[in-house]
Structure 1
Amino acid sequence: MEPATRDELLLAAERYAETVPIEVEPSNVDWECSERAVRRAGACIYDRRTEAITIRLTWSAYRAFGWEEFTGTIRHELVHAWEFQQFGESGHGTRFAEKAKEVNAPRHCRAFSEARLRLRCSSCDWDARRYRASKAVKNPAKRRCGACGSRYRVEHTESGRCWRTHAGYLVARRKLGDEW
């Protein structure tokens, strides 16, 4: 039976983690559920001072993926925990990729929600999804494309409204109101 509440998800994740063949000390891992995350399905947080590890799972991602796919997210975060416990650091490099392959974990977890905003270069094909109003979204005139140096424009994906300046952002925000 799939978890139906956040507490059930955390309990199921902790139990599932015990079945994954990876050398992670479970007594040093705490489990949390995130309500805020809009982009990542999970996160592994390491406290260098205490060497404590917290695996934070995103409820919305679990609801979007279902238990079967979400177990990949759990394995992915366990690989981060393993790296932290073994090496004091973690990333998505070669070591991570090798261990992820061993435990059948995805190297990167797919997005579970659509980005509300998109930064686009005015000259080249570069673009980036944004879920919140970052500094680049609020004031794109102060930023330049890292690929070609041109200016950005920002698009609100649902409405198609675009802007290139802070004033344009303020107008879009006001006009979109509750649709933001």
Structure 2
Amino acid sequence: MHETGTPDPDTPADLCAWAKTYASTVDIDVDLDRVDWEVSKRAKRRAGACRYQPGDETCTIVLTWQAYRAFGWRQFTDTIRHELVHAWEFQQFGESGHGARFRQKAAELDAPRHCETFSEPRYVLRCSASDCDWRAARHRASNPVKQPADGYRCGVCQSRYVVEHVDSGETWRTEKGYQQARAELGDDW
């Protein structure tokens, strides 16, 4: 416990224990006996996830250690409430998403519809049209990153886009450009 009375978990096991305790104080009709808690040290984009096992109707809430470390406990409780809304939907309806039902329940709990980003993207896709501000962050070298000319387009105006490797500033518009940038950067990739 922090000197201010705020939890300050310093291990993944402590984070699970505190999250479980916190969840019991949230006013939502979730059977917490059917919720397991885990911590991921590998996730880079999402602060949490809720997985549903329909066979035994249990949920596993996975919390991301790096997100907790970036946010701190007070802000991370938003993520816990968000994932509890998913658990509620799974337990009540057998499915979950971010639609109207989710938004309504999340609003009741002052939970965000989407969890805040906690890490910098490795790549940024930017529209090539001068009058369009569209951007999309990417953490992995997915097909739109590696093969931007293969039918992928700006999410607003449908123009082609350029991909930037954030750390180096290298850019490309084609698969060949991606391969050249990767080869040039070598260990700095």
TM range (shorter): over 0.9
Structure 1 residue runs of 5 or longer lacking an equivalent are: none
The letter of the residue matching 2:85 is V
- The reply to whether residue 130 of structure 1 matches residue 111 of structure 2 is no
The letter of the residue matching 1:139 is Q
> Is the deviation greater in 46-55 or in 10-19?
46-55
Structure 1 distance, partners of 2:147, 2:157, is 19
Aligned to 1:148: 157
Return the match for 1:87 from 77, 86, 93. Answer: 93
Aligned to 1:113: 119
Once the two structures are TM-superposed, the CA of residue 112 in structure 1 deviates from its matched residue by: 0.4
- The reply to whether residue 27 of structure 1 matches residue 33 of structure 2 is yes
Aligned to 1:44: 50
Partner-residue secondary structure (3-state), 1:90? coil
Deviation string, structure 1 residues 71-101 (Cα, Å, up to 9, x no partner): 1110110011001111111122222122112
> Is the deviation greater in 33-42 or in 46-55?
46-55
Runs of 4+ in 1 over 4 A off after TM superposition: none
Q: TM-score, normalized by length of structure 1?
A: 0.94
Aligned to 1:63: 69
Structure 1 distance, partners of 2:156, 2:77, is 36
Q: TM-score, normalized by length of structure 2?
A: 0.90
CA RMSD after TM alignment = 1.3
Change (3 A) 1:106 1:146: closer
Structure 2 distance, partners of 1:102, 1:144, is 37
Structure 2 residue runs of 5 or longer lacking an equivalent are: 2-7
- The reply to whether residue 104 of structure 1 matches residue 110 of structure 2 is yes
> Is the deviation greater in 65-74 or in 85-94?
85-94
Structure 2 distance, partners of 1:10, 1:173, is 39
Aligned to 1:164: 173
The percent identity for this pair of structures is 63
Aligned length: 180
Once the two structures are TM-superposed, the CA of residue 177 in structure 1 deviates from its matched residue by: 2.4
